[in-house]
A and B are shown apart, each in its own frame.
Chain A
Amino acid sequence: MKKWKDTYDLVIGLEIHVQLDLFSKAFAPESNAAEAPANTLISPVSLALPGTLPVLNNSYLDAAIRLGLAFGSEIQEACFFDRKHYFYADLPKGYQITQDGAPFCKGGNILTFIDGRIRPVRLDHIHMEEDAGKSIHDLDPDHTLLDFNRAGTPLLEIVTTPDLKSPEEVSACIDAVQQMVQYLGISSANMEKGMLRCDCNVSLKPKGSDTLGTRCEIKNLNSKRHARKAIETEVHRQIAILDAGGEIEAMTMSYDAKSNKNLPIRDKETVHDYRYFPEPDLPVFYISKETIERNRRALPELPARYFGKFNEEFDLDPDQAVLFTNSLAEATFVSGFLSWGPDPKFLANIYVQKIRPWLAEKGWKTMLVKEKKPAIVKYCNLVENGQISASSGLQELLPAILENAAADVDELARKLGLLISADTGSMESDIHSLLTDFPAKVKAYQGGKKGLIGFFMGELMRRSSKKPDPVIAKSILEKMLSR
């Protein structure tokens, strides 16, 4: 991979299709639930019965505006829908209602986290489009079965500029989109369930050149892994052609995971004349300032804001900051948690090591942690004051606190024998008798076998009735050994 990067720049643009979790469909009243028995979420409108008309679902427009605002896009004052025509058995009207000429928003940035930094990926626009139904080819040997539950489902199509430079950036960009729609609560963006799909436009240009190369489009990628592999495969295919002095032919392809190849989609299916024209059943609609403001007020704190808070205000390292920004629920919880009083960095560490996995196990019921605030704060103080060791506290006391709702922390620490005795005098006499018992090993240590410190520590721990603080014990041991 090194070699081609010296010769070519990789240029990638994305079209990300997000299926929205709205209560009803884009232009029809029936339920938009994700899963239901085939052909149960249908209506005269989505089956395109004669005499039916589409009516824009207002919550669809609200969701669209919110995503546009979240990405800093410019919401257009006036926009309209277009019809995109093609015949397919799962497309009831013979056209999809989409936005071709006047999408509802333009510009903006997807803030992606790449290498612990925020990098903006510029958006061309986002547009609204309804989905088609599903053709099922593999359930019946003689027939194609049709399920119209998905017909009319509201989609948002997020179209970036050719701003991405590597498969890793593509992956990070999809992450950022998933994260954003999840923050806004407009889609689960689950790729496995087809809630988010992605088309990648891939081209190469001579290093440093301003002129874009001919692009090839890989359609309908349904996982980030596939997206990465499809791009890598496509890069190698294009390099082979370019290195041999050939020209890239614009093409639409689909990625075949089994063979790890991008297979061209036959011309017949791609050279479509979609015959776009403005949808006459839906009048031009105007998005008022009030509507925009109402939706702006409904926005939660966004990922970049939380990232900044964690990274700058709490001075956490970027990887941790990214991790905590993962979901709105977690970011909200963690930003409260880090303000509990004890050192935020210490809190962040115990969160990553113990509390987060425990919460994951408990289905992210953050209340369970919040109600233990006094105990956890107390725990932090014990560690800070050196009354218990950080490591044994983390391994034994903190889990015990999480599991025992109402326990007294001091009591727990005592029961677990974790309280460090402050009496270094008794520790010194223990060490003294230990060294007296192993004179040969003491000699060997003093002769240079410093590794024996582990042996002495182990013996000391075994002999001591009270739990000595290992750090203190080790320093006293080293001091006495070197005498």
Chain B
Amino acid sequence: MMPIERYRSLEQIQSALRKGECTMKEVVHAYLERINGTAHVNAYVRVFRDEALQQARELDTRLQNGESPGPLFGLVASIKDVICYAGHPVSAASGMLQDYISPFSATAVERLTGAGAIIIGMVNCDEFAMGSANENSWYGPTQNGLHTGYVPGGSSGASAVSVQLDTCLVSLGSDTGGSVRQPAAFCGVIGLKPSYGRISRHGLIAYASSFDQIGIIGKNIPDLYAVLQVISGPDEKDSTTTHHLLVGAGIPESIPIEGTRIASFSNAFHAGGVQAEIRDAFNDRLDTLDQAGYQVDHIEFPLLEYIVPTYYILTMAEASSNLSRYDGVRYGHRTKHAGDLEELYGRSRSEGFGTEVKRRIMLGTFVLSSGYYDAYFQTAQKVRRKIMDTIQTILDTHDFIALPTTPETAWKIGEKVEDPVSVYLSDIFTVLANLCGIPAISVPLGQDKNGLDFGIQLMSARDTEEKLLAMSKILIDIQ
């Protein structure tokens, strides 16, 4: 069996395929072996073995015949169980959608496969992408691939694990408040959440429409960029896709040291909620940048304490609405014990949804209900606007904002199940980018005394992913 983990990037795989050092069939076989060998982590909920091998054979034939194989040939991806793939089940890791098969593919999937990539399987996540530990799943929790007994983060936990364990080259996840970046940090890989509207949400099962964005998890910046180039761009099936195209000239080779300003929030560490090892490694890395000549400003972000409440009020409100469609009438779980329509709704939804999803639907319904709308939803909308404006002002004078990806490293499975609020609060650094619609990336920063990974996060102005990726490369290389 070929040692697939030796191929660290799409470029290496493509070069090996071109030179005939290996075949695509061998590549897919190797990944399938690794999926089998790591089944205990419970990352994959569906593996498309025969299909992937068939596609690999077709690609091999095309390569042999000298036909153009598409820009992403050689790329094997996993997709989160909230992304639709025509003819395949998709369940959002929920009991509600156990027998559901999507009749269409997400635009991102269509573009990915259209460019020659092979989807090897679908991976676990938190139910309807609600969670930060991949524990709220109909399929049970996914383990951190390198630290058994620890969470991989969430909600795209298994997406990060699938990359961490070399069962695929990249994974598509979704990021509503950090769901791609936080597990990437916990698993020592890279997670990119592009600008809101960069990648079509058509075919992404909605959690909170004005926050959701498909994200990419991988092991290096060029791979993320190659995938982003293919799957991003306007889509007539999603009116919220941005019309600002990527520059397309590739990631800039370097970012000019002179004049590049990076902001960090000094008050992010005041409350003492940040693990010492993360704080120190973060400050060290910024110092290194500073010494290299980049200007690093430690500034106050006055609205820090409002970030999490604003985020949760708005996402829960949107979620309560988005999940109304799961009513047991047209598809999905329908109770066997209903006397009338109201009972059909009550029981189907009570039986189909898990605890965290029900909690968010109820809170979301509450903040939208008459008498509370102004106090909660509308106030949160106004605060969101204020946060956006403040961040915009910062980004008018700074190229990047740097923060730790998470205040702490991965916790033990089950440790925080009874304490949802502490889990919500741990999203403090990641939800900011979703509130503002700006791109954000998490790259590995270090490990704590137990060897658990953590990351550093970089954000930039809307629609400046290329610049963000270029700076991320520097951030990785400069250590």
Encoded as 1 (CB less than 8 Å from any A CB) or 0, chain B from 311 to 339 comes to 00000011001001101011100000000
Give A40-67 interface residues, CB cut-off 8 Å to B: 44, 47-56
Complex: chain B residue closest to A48, CB-CB = B325
Complex: chain B residue closest to A45, CB-CB = B237
Which of B205, B317, B324, B345 contacts A51 (CB under 8 A)? Answer: B205
Complex: chain B residue closest to A146, CB-CB = B329
Q: Are A53 and B317 in contact (CB under 8 A)?
A: no
Flag whether B14 is at the interface (Cβ < 8 A).
no
18 contacts between A and B (CB under 8 A): A49-B102, A49-B103, A49-B104, A50-B97, A51-B90, A51-B106, A51-B204, A52-B202, A85-B368, A87-B327, A93-B325, A94-B324, A275-B321, A275-B365, A275-B373, A280-B208, A280-B318, A282-B240
Encoded as 1 (CB less than 8 Å from any A CB) or 0, chain B from 445 to 461 comes to 00000000000000000
Query: Contacts A280-B209, A280-B210 hold; do A50 and B102 have CB atoms under 8 A apart?
Result: yes
Flag whether A89 is at the interface (Cβ < 8 A).
yes
Flag whether A23 is at the interface (Cβ < 8 A).
no
Interface pairs A-B: 6 shortest CB-CB:
A94-B324, A280-B209, A280-B210, A275-B368, A48-B325, A51-B203
* Chain A interface SS verdict (over half): loop
For B324, the chain A residues whose CB sits under 8 A away are 85, 87, 93-95
For B201, the chain A residues whose CB sits under 8 A away are 53
Q: Are B102 and A275 in contact (CB under 8 A)?
A: no
Flag whether A25 is at the interface (Cβ < 8 A).
no
Q: Are A56 and B239 in contact (CB under 8 A)?
A: yes
Which of A51, A83, A146, A273 contacts B202 (CB under 8 A)? Answer: A51
Which of B102, B209, B345, B369 contacts A281 (CB under 8 A)? Answer: B209
- Report how far A273 CA is from B102 CA in the complex, Å: 32
Q: Are A51 and B327 in contact (CB under 8 A)?
A: no
Which of A47, A281, A283 contacts B330 (CB under 8 A)? Answer: A47
For A95, the chain B residues whose CB sits under 8 A away are 321, 324
- Report how far A93 CA is from B204 CA in the complex, Å: 16
Flag whether A340 is at the interface (Cβ < 8 A).
no
Size range of the chain A interface in the assembly: 20 to 34
For B237, the chain A residues whose CB sits under 8 A away are 53, 55
Give B207-226 interface residues, CB cut-off 8 Å to A: 208-210
For B48, the chain A residues whose CB sits under 8 A away are none
B207 to chain A, nearest CB (A): 11
Flag whether B206 is at the interface (Cβ < 8 A).
yes
Q: Are B369 and A273 in contact (CB under 8 A)?
A: yes
For A55, the chain B residues whose CB sits under 8 A away are 236-239
Flag whether A417 is at the interface (Cβ < 8 A).
no
Complex: chain A residue closest to B100, CB-CB = A50
Flag whether B84 is at the interface (Cβ < 8 A).
yes
Complex: chain B residue closest to A56, CB-CB = B239
- Report how far A44 CA is from B237 CA in the complex, Å: 12
Flag whether A277 is at the interface (Cβ < 8 A).
yes
- Report how far A146 CA is from B327 CA in the complex, Å: 14
Give A257-299 interface residues, CB cut-off 8 Å to B: 273, 275, 277, 280-283
Q: Are A50 and B239 in contact (CB under 8 A)?
A: no
Q: Which of A48, A50, A89 has the most CB of B within 10 A?
A: A50
For A120, the chain B residues whose CB sits under 8 A away are none
Query: Contacts A273-B369, A280-B318, A283-B239 hold; do A51 and B84 have CB atoms under 8 A apart?
Result: yes
For B393, the chain A residues whose CB sits under 8 A away are none
> Given known contacts A52-B202, A277-B317, what 6 new A-B pairs fall within 8 Å (CB)?
A50-B325, A51-B206, A93-B324, A93-B325, A94-B325, A280-B208
Q: Are A87 and B206 in contact (CB under 8 A)?
A: no
Query: Contacts A44-B103, A50-B90 hold; do A83 and B205 have CB atoms under 8 A apart?
Result: no
Flag whether A92 is at the interface (Cβ < 8 A).
yes
For A275, the chain B residues whose CB sits under 8 A away are 321, 365, 368-370, 373
Give A79-97 interface residues, CB cut-off 8 Å to B: 83, 85, 87-89, 92-95
- Report how far A54 CA is from B201 CA in the complex, Å: 11
- Report how far A53 CA is from B201 CA in the complex, Å: 8
Complex: chain A residue closest to B342, CB-CB = A87
Query: Contacts A83-B321, A273-B370 hold; do A283 and B329 have CB atoms under 8 A apart?
Result: no
Flag whether B292 is at the interface (Cβ < 8 A).
no
For A44, the chain B residues whose CB sits under 8 A away are 103-104
- Report how far A87 CA is from B323 CA in the complex, Å: 12
B194 to chain A, nearest CB (A): 17
Q: Which of A87, A95, A144 has the most CB of B within 10 A?
A: A87
For A49, the chain B residues whose CB sits under 8 A away are 102-104, 331
Flag whether B391 is at the interface (Cβ < 8 A).
no
Which of B92, B238, B341, B369 contacts A50 (CB under 8 A)? Answer: B92
B70 to chain A, nearest CB (A): 24
Flag whether B186 is at the interface (Cβ < 8 A).
no
Flag whether B377 is at the interface (Cβ < 8 A).
yes
B211 to chain A, nearest CB (A): 9
Q: Are B377 and A277 in contact (CB under 8 A)?
A: yes
Q: Which of A49, A92, A273 has the most CB of B within 10 A?
A: A49
- Report how far A363 CA is from B366 CA in the complex, Å: 58
- Report how far A48 CA is from B240 CA in the complex, Å: 18
Query: Contacts A50-B90, A51-B102, A281-B209 hold; do A89 and B329 have CB atoms under 8 A apart?
Result: yes
For B321, the chain A residues whose CB sits under 8 A away are 83, 85, 94-95, 275, 277
Q: Are A53 and B325 in contact (CB under 8 A)?
A: no
Encoded as 1 (CB less than 8 Å from any A CB) or 0, chain B from 324 to 366 comes to 1101011100000000010001000000000000000000010
B79 to chain A, nearest CB (A): 12
For A273, the chain B residues whose CB sits under 8 A away are 369-370
B262 to chain A, nearest CB (A): 31
Q: Which of A47, A51, A144, A283 has the most CB of B within 10 A?
A: A51
B367 to chain A, nearest CB (A): 9
A150 to chain B, nearest CB (A): 15
- Report how far A275 CA is from B345 CA in the complex, Å: 18
Complex: chain A residue closest to B106, CB-CB = A51
For A47, the chain B residues whose CB sits under 8 A away are 330-331
Q: Are B345 and A87 in contact (CB under 8 A)?
A: yes
A49 to chain B, nearest CB (A): 7
Give B168-216 interface residues, CB cut-off 8 Å to A: 201-206, 208-210
For B239, the chain A residues whose CB sits under 8 A away are 53-56, 281-283
For B345, the chain A residues whose CB sits under 8 A away are 87
- Report how far A92 CA is from B332 CA in the complex, Å: 13
For B84, the chain A residues whose CB sits under 8 A away are 50-51
Q: Which of B208, B240, B327 has the most CB of A within 10 A?
A: B327
Complex: chain B residue closest to A279, CB-CB = B209
Q: Are A53 and B202 in contact (CB under 8 A)?
A: yes
B318 to chain A, nearest CB (A): 6
A30 to chain B, nearest CB (A): 13
B334 to chain A, nearest CB (A): 11
- Report how far A53 CA is from B199 CA in the complex, Å: 14
Complex: chain B residue closest to A94, CB-CB = B324
Complex: chain A residue closest to B197, CB-CB = A283
Q: Which of A56, A144, A275 has the most CB of B within 10 A?
A: A275
Encoded as 1 (CB less than 8 Å from any A CB) or 0, chain B from 54 to 81 comes to 0000000000000000000000000000
Q: Are B203 and A92 in contact (CB under 8 A)?
A: no
For B331, the chain A residues whose CB sits under 8 A away are 47, 49
Complex: chain A residue closest to B83, CB-CB = A51
B155 to chain A, nearest CB (A): 16
Complex: chain A residue closest to B90, CB-CB = A50
Encoded as 1 (CB less than 8 Å from any A CB) or 0, chain B from 373 to 385 comes to 1000100000000
- Report how far A92 CA is from B326 CA in the complex, Å: 9
- Report how far A89 CA is from B340 CA in the complex, Å: 11
Q: Are B327 and A94 in contact (CB under 8 A)?
A: yes
- Report how far A44 CA is from B86 CA in the complex, Å: 12
Q: Are A281 and B106 in contact (CB under 8 A)?
A: no
Complex: chain A residue closest to B236, CB-CB = A55
- Report how far A53 CA is from B100 CA in the complex, Å: 18
- Report how far A46 CA is from B237 CA in the complex, Å: 13
For B373, the chain A residues whose CB sits under 8 A away are 275, 277
A100 to chain B, nearest CB (A): 12
B251 to chain A, nearest CB (A): 29
For A93, the chain B residues whose CB sits under 8 A away are 324-325
